[in-house]
Amino acid sequence: MIEVASVDDKDILVASYVSMLRLVAEAAPADFAVAFGAERRLAEWGIVGHAILSCGTLRRAFEIWLKFADVAGDPLRYRWEIRDDIWRVIFMPVHAHGTKLARFCAEEFASSFLRFAHETTKFDGKTAVTRFMHRANEGVDYGAFIPGDIQFSSDTNALTLPAAILDMPILSRDDELLNLLVEHLAIKRPDGGLDGAAYQLRQVLISSTENDYKLNATAAALGLSPRTLNRKLTNEGTSFTRVLGEFRNDYAKALLRETSLGPKQIAHILGFKNDQSLRRAFLQWNNVPMGAWRNAHGKISGL
């Protein structure tokens, strides 16, 4: 096993993520990025997606999304401005312009962003203007995936939209759930801080769409070997099992408090073999059974 070492864990994470994207960009069909983005749903983004769906406005949703894009090492950098009732979002690749990777990331972001705007506010995108620095891929029907006006060979990558949509209400707004997810899950910082392995591990768990939380898979997502990840966590006074347990406990409480999901469904979401395993773990974490906790704190009682 070759261990990856770096003075900056975030650089490792970014390098691993970008390497994966580069392989996809090189091998994928010409229309894959825009088609993939147009088919995405926020629920596929794990807890981060649910937090965005719970926001009050698109402005708040975009702020949260940008925060997590930075933590995850997104290969695009973003800047936005409002002038004359126009909202302009500039998105530039971190890596060399003109590559398939830069094209892929720009097209995927534009199509998925407009898809998310429609999902949360029903904004149809007809008044949107999307500008790309690269030329259009021959044979790709961009209009089938990206609404509004699309321009190529521009001086920058940018989305231009009416500023009014920033304050359009999100249809699935849930202030209590948003506060719970953001304050107790998404921005909870272990003792190691933003640069700590425990914090980065938690971000991987939060953004994962899988429920099979294994050391090997999460270490790979961080660009580390399991041995290196374990060593870093030990140096921070914690462990993979402890971070995973804290994450599952927080997530279980969120689901118990804010949904009507039963123990079998919650156990599946959290990657437990069955609901009895979840019940035992919850009792160990909180010294109170799941049913009693939901009766005391949840909107839906009875388990």
Q: What is the pTM for the complete model shown?
A: 0.58
Alpha-carbon distance values, 32 to 28, 99, 126, 160, 213 (Å): 6, 15, 22, 23, 28
pLDDT digits (tens, 9 = 90+) for 244-283: 998 888 888 877 876 777 888 888 878 888 999 999 999 9
Please indicate, yes or no, whether residues 81 and 202 belong to a single structural domain of this protein: no
Do 40 and 163 belong to one domain? Answer: yes
In a domain, 82, yes or no: yes
Does residue 231 fall inside a structural domain?
yes
Residue 26 in any domain: the answer is: no
Do 82 and 163 have their domain in common?
yes
Does the residue 255 lie in any domain? yes
Q: Which two tokens stand for residue 198?
A: 């425990």
Q: Mark which of 138, 167, 196 sits at the end of a domain.
A: 167
Same domain, 159 and 251: no
**Together in a domain, 149 and 245:** no
| 124 lies in the same domain as 221 | no
In a domain, 53, yes or no: yes
Q: Are residues 163 and 82 in the same domain?
A: yes
Q: What is the pLDDT along the chain (303 residues), one digit of tens a residue?
A: 223 333 344 443 444 556 667 777 888 889 999 998 899 888 777 667 777 888 888 888 887 777 666 655 677 888 888 888 999 999 988 765 568 888 998 999 999 999 999 999 999 999 999 999 999 998 999 999 999 999 999 999 999 999 999 888 898 887 777 766 665 544 444 444 445 788 778 877 766 656 667 888 888 878 888 999 999 999 989 999 999 998 888 888 877 876 777 888 888 878 888 999 999 999 999 999 999 998 888 655 555
Domain interval for residue 119: 31-167
215/91 same-domain check: no
Same domain assignment for residues 43 and 160 = yes
Give a yes or no: residue 1 inside a domain. Answer: no
Give pLDDT tens digits for 190-234: 444 445 788 778 877 766 656 667 888 888 878 888 999 999 999
| Residue 3 within any structural domain of the chain | no
Same domain for 194 and 139, yes or no, is: no
Total domains in the chain come to 2
The answer to whether residues 202 and 145 belong to one domain is no
Boundary-marking domain end, from 167, 200, 225: 167
Pair 54, 156 in one domain = yes
Q: Would you say residue 303 lies in a domain?
A: no
Q: What CATH code is carried by the domain that includes residue 268?
A: 1.10.10.60
